[in-house]
Structure 1
Amino acid sequence: MIKENKSGVTFPKGFKAAGVKAGIKKSGNPDLAVIISETDAVAAGTFTQNKVAAAPVYVSKKVISTGTATAIVTNSGCANACTGQQGLNDANKTTQIAARELNINPNDVIVASTGVIGVTLPMEKIESGIKNAVAALSSTGSESAANAIITTDTYIKSLTTTIEINGKEVRIGAIAKGAGMIQPNMATMLCFITTDANIDQVRLQLALSSIVEKSFNMISVDGDMSTNDMVVILANGQAGNDKIIKNDENFQLFYNALSELCTQMAQKVAADGEGATKFITINIHNAKNFKEAKKAGMSVANSPLVKTAFFGEDPNWGRVLCAVGYSGVDIDPDKTTVKFGNILIYANGTGIQFDKEKLHKVMSEHDITIDIDINMGKTNATVWSCDLSYEYVKINGEYHT
């Protein structure tokens, strides 16, 4: 069972964390976090597919390619993106500072940044912040770390779960940030996951890559892909279960637990979209394949007309059908049906008469489900999104250096 638990990344055995105020954010809020495994850990990660990737993405990809990592250092308030060679130098220097303070190898330090693009890291503040965070590392420090990574989020996102493998309790914990520039693959999103599972790196990467595709890569707030996204997991083996080295029953147990945690975290990110007043679940039914199902769902999720209609509580089903129609997937309007909640809106090529009072009640709720049956195959997919409000424009109109 997934729990909203503030212990997050320090819930599994052998992990510590801390978040501090380094002075990077103009607000003076916490802005630098360190997460560390007390013992060697295998590591896996997925990263933004934006061709304009931030410096920490390049550095952390190299760390992940080694298969191991011990620590994560992340800052908010400055993305260190579009900063050229200086940005890469600063990201590498961050690993070196952290390695020195933690007495580990720089190649075992993952770095991440989020915030304003085109601004170089204030390295004196980064160094001071790392020193302070390392001094504050604690087995109860996850909440402070979660606070240090958020930007326009309205609350911290922290989840945990427990499973049993070979009679051993295996724990998984995570923290995440993300509220705007949310469009796979992935989003302006950082997610750090820890586990004490004993699992080899190949299985860990296999699980994470597959799970991200159907969780974090299925959310959209505004259709913009960030430069800094990453989902990273560290596994230190302290649970003591027999090592998972093949795709057996134990791997499936771990996979299912991690999948559920990532799915719920992805939903939290979408629900906390900048200025959001609605959380919208878009179910695509009976598409030809997963690629087409996702494409149709994302087309609806990214439509400004759909998103503003839900903000205004306007049952304009034509906007939904229109978005599916231009998505590029193979559909036949006469075979397609659309439901808002449990109310059938469109079928047999035409709109359906519906109870306006009941539909308005559906539209006025915070959680709204759209079901679109394409009837062209047997594959389903779910995309999570939110509405587009006046507040979104205000937040992003004022988001500057």
Structure 2
Amino acid sequence: MKYIGEHLLPGQLGHFFILLFLVGAALASVSYFLSQRAASDTDKIQWKNLGRISFFTQSLSVVAIFGLLFYIIQNHLFEYHYAWKHSSRSLEFKYLLACFWEGQEGSFLLWGLCQSILGLLLIRSAGKWEAPVMSVVSFAQFALATMVTGIYILGWKMGSNPFMLLRDSGVLDNAPALHLNFDVSQPLRPDYLSSIKDGNDLNPLLQNYWMVIHPPVLFMGFASTLIPFAYAIAALWTKQYQDWTKLTLPWALFSTAVLGVGIMMGGMWAYESLSFGGYWAWDPVENASLVPWMTGVAGLHTLLIFKATGHSLRATFLFFILTYLFILYSTFLTRSGILGETSVHAFTDLGMNWQLLSFLLIFTLPALFWFIKSYNQIPTIKKEEETSSREFWMFIGSLVIFLSALVIIGQTSLPVFNKLF
């Protein structure tokens, strides 16, 4: 049946670019992996070039998806569920932009856009580390792409597609006035869209200028934690345990700074809009972003210690690996619906719990296994630091920060433990 007034082309293009995003990221990861494993220089270059082309392709796809979805929101095409659910005609332009990342699908795309930008910068700066590092980055992009595909594989839905039509979402199933003969068992009326006058609007608490600037900064912080993680994994993979630290230092500084600024923005927003009565309320979602920042700070300090004295290399590996893993864990906490009753700004459950858990485990288990397996091979200086040295107390400070992070994430995870036990 043809429905009057629907604009299907943006959605069709969106579906195409989402698949291109998925395939491009997967192909980039595989190509870079094979480039690293290739025996001859010719094969290395050929696979690396294919990896670059694939990563450029998926990056352009993310930009196209971003543009198409914003076009749908800005033009109030309420035949699309995402636009109907998160926006309305009365919103100012800046809040229409904020509508993009209010939902899970849009925030995943924002995260993917940030990682694409950082990946393109890495291609230009990583040098000999490009293949192993970009293999990890591209795989992370692939994992994000699965979150927005919305396709069924063997009866299992993978992700949630932001270009889903309102009539396919189930929202209208219990609206007799929109169905033929006022019977919900009948198809929708061809002119059903004429009855959809406006969208569901943006949550009033989110109609704040912080909603426009806080999420992009925070997600850039999230995305940037991937880079030190990727370098650490690449170092374990190639068994070049020391060379990676020089290239990682600027990224670690950038990641810590941006994520810290994003967290402070969130504190200001909470003070102004959420009536917390202060800048911080130990809300689970706040804690979930604070803990990776703390481990990132610890890793940055141990990296500086290693640069100065050669000590704390193992701790640096561990802290940077855990920083990204805590980002993934916080993603699981805030998007699975587990914190729905304990946090004012957790996402609702979209039925992706197993996929989110898989996203977490597919990075956590290999990374920790690789670190443990390589632990004794990581160089260390047997001579202990002098207790009066600056580096010794920097390490003690890093250890205190790390232990504090474990306490915070443990308390924040109580809803998970309650669900399990």
TM-score by length of 1: 0.27
**Which structure has more RCO (C-alpha within 8 Å, separation ≥ 6)?**
1
Q: Of Structure 1 and Structure 2, which has the larger fraction of its residues in strand?
A: 1
TM-score by length of 2: 0.26
Choose 1 or 2 for highest CA Rg.
Answer: 2
Q: Of Structure 1 and Structure 2, which has the larger fraction of its residues in helix?
A: 2
